[in-house]
Each structure stands twice: as structure tokens, then as C-alpha cells.
Structure 1
Amino acid sequence: MSRQGRRRAVARTSILAVGLLLAGCVLATPVPPRQASGSRAETEVAVGAYLHYGSPGVERMQELSHWLGGTELRAGHTYLPGDTWANIEGAPDSLRTWARWRTARPDRMFVLNVPMLERNEAGVPDARVAELIRTGARGQYDQHFQRLAKRLVALGVPDTVVVLGWEMNGFNYTHRCRPDPENWKRYWRRIVAAMRTVKGQRFRFDFAPNRGGDAIAWTKCYPGDDVVDIIGMDSYDQPPGHSFDEQVTQPYGLQQQVDFAKAHRKRISYPEWGLFRNGDNPEYMRDMLAWIAEHRPLYHSITDYCPHGVWQCDQNPRSTQVFREFLSAEQDRHSPFRLRP
């Protein structure tokens, strides 16, 4: 979703029962041996929400947790502005606030969306995008990402989950893949290589397309298992996919994401999800939460501003009730199928 929209943030019964049971059983199940690290952060789904791109987002994490009856929000999610290279290098002061939030508890996770090119929402035409991608693929932007990596390490967040070039299969962002998929993949590889040269880094790179085919099949943009750690997906309640079942089964939809990640031995994530074109849709909310509980992503982060959200947005009251009941620690405290220990 757009940065402009994010700024506005400064603002059927049986399925729920099955979802709650799945959540309790699945979240309590150890990860397969190849993924297990022994830490809580790796054996549970980290719940998060996008609440604001800057420091207010950190402050609102505690408020949302209180609204959920004490449910811990372990995934702190924000974005770097894609207007200038200086901001992509991590110039915003709010990074310090996010870093303090992350380092306050060892089981927290910092999720940072990083643009691959400046002027990322400036409507740059395809021909120019292709030129920029080729320039990046030759390594001419490496220094920007090395500076970002050094800044994150210096702030004490060397294990940041980097959602690099998100929604690359779409039509809008300057870092989109369609104008030159082969060089786009080379450019991704250059960025990852540049960031991994920084001493002390332990970054994980999240490849997160839009759900569905969009401008290009996201599989055509996949840069390789050695430079991707997580297979994410941004999935809102909108076409293509009028029903949740269609969102699951459509080409390049939720099921294909899960299958692709399994084939490549990667964890999945949902950096952005929420309501949209179908309005206040409690059935979607039940089904998406049950899907998350069943498939156990590393983390998920609902986009919480209107029209997508459930806490900072009051136009989705029925979906809000489902979200709160499903994730509330108070609701679940005496259940044998608890979401969290």
C-alpha cells in the first residue's frame, strides 16, 4: 500500500472456532528441526500491526496490546521512505525509537520495508525504471544499502527482517519488477550481497509480492534461495479473489505462496494484510486469521488504518470484534487452546 495511505494512519461461527483451535494447536507446535533455533521468537507466530511509519507507531504498540487484553505484539513493522537515497539509507530519526523497542526484549522482531530505488512513488515510466534497475544491477547503488546495513547494526538491530522491494509484482512502485525481471533479480542479489558485507549483520530478507498475478507473475521475480530467507505476501480483501476461497486458490494466491515456500524450504510471512474493497467483512477476518493459525508464518502484520484496519479505524466494527476475540489474551486465558503461553 502507498506511503500516502500509511500517513493517514496518524489515524461462518464454526470457522472462528476451528481457527481458534488451530491457533492454539499450531502456535504451540515446535517448528521442524531445520528451522528450530530453540528461541521463542522462532517457535511462535509473531503478531504485529502497522500503526504508523514513525515513532508514534512504537507508542501505539503498547496501546494496541492493552486493547487486546495484554496480547504481546512481537513484530514491530515500519517502512523507510522511498523519496530520497538518504532516507533509504536509514536517515529517519524514528529508526532509533524502533531499535529501542526491539532491543527492550529479546523475543521481539523488527520488520523494516526497504525501497530499492528513490522516487519510489513518483510514477516513473517503465523505460526509466528499466534503466534504473540495470544501473542497480551493475552495483552503482551498493553504497546506499551498505550505509543502511551499518546504521542498523550500529543501532543494535543486526537481525532486522528486511522486506526488500515489496509488492515488486505490481504496477506502481519504481522498484517494480516488470520492466526488466532478469536485471531486477540481479539487482536484488547485489543489494543483499552489499548488506551482508557489513560486519555483525544477521539480516533476513523477505520477498513479499502482492497476492495474485498483478503486473507480472511474482515467481518470475524470485531472485534465488541463497538471497531470500522468507517468502512473504501482501494480501488484502480485494479482487482478484472476491471470496477468501478464491484468494487461496487463484493463480499466485495464498496456496501457491505456501507451496512455493515449502518447495524452497522457507518460512512464510504476511507483512501487510487487512480489509479493503469488500468493506467490513467478518467472514474474511475469520478466514484469514484461521489461515494464519494453520500455516504459521514467521510473523503477520495487519495494516491498521482505514479502510484496512480494526483498531485505529471505526468503520469495520464487525471485523474488529472478530480480530479482537481471536487475538485477545483475555478471551483466551482459560482456554486449553491458547494462542500464547
Structure 2
Amino acid sequence: MSHRRRRLAGACAITVAAGMLATGGAFGTPPREVSDWRGGGREVAVGAYLHYGSPGVERMRELSHWLRGTELRAGHTYLPGDTWANIEGAPDSLESWARWRKARADRLFVLNVPMLERNEAGVPDDRVAELIRTGARGAYDHHFRRLAERLVGLGLPDTVIVLGWEMNGFNYTHRCRPDPENWKRYWRRIVTAMRSVKGQRFRFDFAPNRGGDAIAWTKCYPGDDVVDVLGMDSYDQPPGESFHDYVTQPYGLQQQVDFAKAHGKRISYPEWGLFRNGDNAEYMRSMLEWIAKHKPLYQSITDYCPHGVWQCTENPDSAHVFREFLSTERGRRWGYRR
């Protein structure tokens, strides 16, 4: 999924009414054995993408209230990919996120970072390949050192960096398909540049789209030494006739879990939500159960229309499922904290 309005949607999100939905809802029994290959019952850090700027911080508190006090421990936003200055961390909203992160020690700040400027400008493949090769030679290292310095200076040295997200797709300028080998070299240079900054403790999240898309995401994987988390963006859209199809499709949810286990990585879901199939309560329930079973480091629903459940009034049945799952005893038994 590649839509400019995903990054800007907070500015036009539909205002949610207080007490929008009544309580209730039925869920299956939690699995007897949680599928956590490292062992131990880890809690899942819940988050949501609510707005690209400072209003996203305020809406975290409002969403937590709607969820009857469920803690939102994963704050998630994006750096604009229009200019190198913004990729270097120029947006003032980072200061608001830094205050939010530092208010509690157990919070995660998750930041999607583009690998190239003009990231949504429809740049053709031949030019993308040229830019990737330039990056692989080190020409852009200084931009990412500046970003790392900015984050450390703001007191965000432990940021989870979702670098070059959905790289297996067709649209972003930082896509992998035009030159996979140099793309991997470029990722490695970025991680090396950011890790060179004193005081950093960043974790780098490799997060493709679910499925094959333009290229198998395994062909873009840059190496275990430069990846800390194996993420996946997963929306309710073809080819799935059922949630089982999303699990079993090539390069789908099960392959993500298996790949992460084989490579010793935590998983994550930086973006997920509704899409092509409208208000699909069964998808919402199944995705929440999948997340609870497999214990990712964090999950962050994309919360605006058509994907969301709180800032979007178009999906009342799915909103009911989401709210009840995360705000009741059932949800706590699955590993979600209040």
C-alpha cells in the first residue's frame, strides 16, 4: 500500500464521537500455548498511527481513553520523504514525540524513515536504480548521521527505525526491485552511519508489504547484523478470500514468523488495518488473535479511513471488535496491557 494520504491523513481524519460503541463481543478462547519462540509471555506494545505531526501525540491519550484505559506504549509516526532536510529529522513534531516517549520508561517510539528524498514522486525504475547505487557508494551517509544525532539529542536514542518500509512494492522511490543487491548495500550503509553516532541504541525494523508484491521481500533482506526486527505491513486486501489465505500465501504472515524465528528476530506489525473488503469484523478479530498469539514487539493499526476503527466511522463492526478485544479481560489474557 502506497498512498501519500496515509502520511497526511491525520489532518482530515473524521472526529470520533465519545462513547461511539457499546461494550460486548465474543471471542475465541486464547491458545493454551502462546507461540513465542523465545519463551516467556511477552506483552505486546499497542500503538496506532493517528497523525503525522504533533496532534498524533494528543490523540494517543484520547484513543487510550476510548479503549477504557488500555495503555498505548507504541507511538508511531513518519518522517516526510519530500526533502533530505525532513529525512534528517527537521519536523518540529519530533520534539512532541520525545516528550511523550520520555514520560514513561516502557514506551516505544517507532519512526518510519525514508531512504531517499522525493519518496512518493513517481520516480521511474532506471532513476531509482541510479539513486540506490549512489546511496550504496555512501553519498547519502551524512543525512542519516544527522538524523541519528537529532534523535539522540532529543532523548530518543532507542527509537525503533522502520527504514525503507514496503520496499518490496512498486511505488516508493526507496523500493528494492530496481537493484536489489545495491539496495541491500545501501541499507547496510545507512545502519552503519546511524550506529556510528555516540549514545544511539536504535533498533532497525525491516518491514515489507505482506505477500510477493513487486519482488519477494526475502530478496531484499540485508542481513542479520543490520536488522533487529522483522516487520510486516498487512492490510485486508487481495488475494485473500479468508484470513487463512493471508497466513499461508507466499511471503505472507506465516513466512514472516518462520523467517524471523530462523534469523533470531522479533516480529512487528508497523501498519495494519482494513482496506479492500470494507468493514470486516472477522478480519479484525483474526488479525488481533494472530498478533496476540505471536507476540510481536509492537503493533500499530493505521487509524484513518478506510483502514481504521477510531477516527473512521465507516467501520463500526470492526471498531467494536477492536475496542472489546483491547479493553476487556479477554484482551489482557492475550497479552495486551491495561
Question: Please, what TM-score do these two structures have when normalized by structure 2?
Answer: 0.92
Alignment partner of 2:230: what SS? strand
Among 332, 335, 340, which residue is 2:329 paired with? 332
Give 1:5 shift. Answer: 3.0
Considering only aligned residues, what root-mean-square deviation do their CA atoms show, in Å?
A: 2.2
Distance 1:294 1:276 in 2: 23
Give 1:334 shift. Answer: 11
| Cα offsets for 1:38-90 (capped at 9, x unmatched) | xxxx9421000000010000000000000000000000000000000000000
Give 1:8 shift. Answer: 2.4
1:290 maps to what in 2? 289
Contact 1:15 1:286 in 2 (8 A): no
Please tell me the residue identity of whatever aligns with 2:84: W
Residue 32 of structure 1 pairs with residue 38 of structure 2: yes
Residue 179 of structure 1 pairs with residue 189 of structure 2: no
Unaligned runs of 5+ in 1: 37-41
| Cα offsets for 1:244-263 (capped at 9, x unmatched) | 11000000000000000000
* Aligned residue-pair number: 326
Alignment partner of 1:268: what SS? strand
Distance 1:304 1:96 in 2: 22
Please tell me the residue identity of whatever aligns with 2:161: V
Give 1:119 shift. Answer: 0.1
2:209 maps to what in 1? 210
Where do 1:1-341 residues align within 5 Å?
A: 1-10=2-11, 11=13, 16-18=27-29, 21-22=30-31, 26=34, 32=38, 43-328=42-327, 331-332=328-329, 339-340=336-337
Instruction: Give the 4+ runs in structure 1 shifted more than 6 A.
Output: 333-338
Contact 2:79 2:112 in 1 (8 A): yes
Contact 1:332 1:338 in 2 (8 A): no
Distance 2:220 2:232 in 1: 13
Give 1:25 shift. Answer: 7.4
Give 1:241 shift. Answer: 1.8
Contact 1:76 1:111 in 2 (8 A): yes
Q: Percent identity?
A: 79
Please tell me the residue identity of whatever aligns with 2:79: L
Distance 2:331 2:320 in 1: 19
Distance 1:269 1:337 in 2: 16
- Summarize the Cα distance change of 1:290–1:336 in structure 2 as closer, same or farther, 3 Å threshold: closer
Contact 1:212 1:252 in 2 (8 A): yes
- Summarize the Cα distance change of 1:197–1:314 in structure 2 as closer, same or farther, 3 Å threshold: same
| Cα offsets for 1:163-222 (capped at 9, x unmatched) | 000000000000000000000000000000000000000000000000000000000000
Unaligned runs of 5+ in 2: 14-23
Question: Please, what TM-score do these two structures have when normalized by structure 1?
Answer: 0.91
Give 1:243 shift. Answer: 1.4
Contact 2:44 2:336 in 1 (8 A): no
Please tell me the residue identity of whatever aligns with 1:201: Q
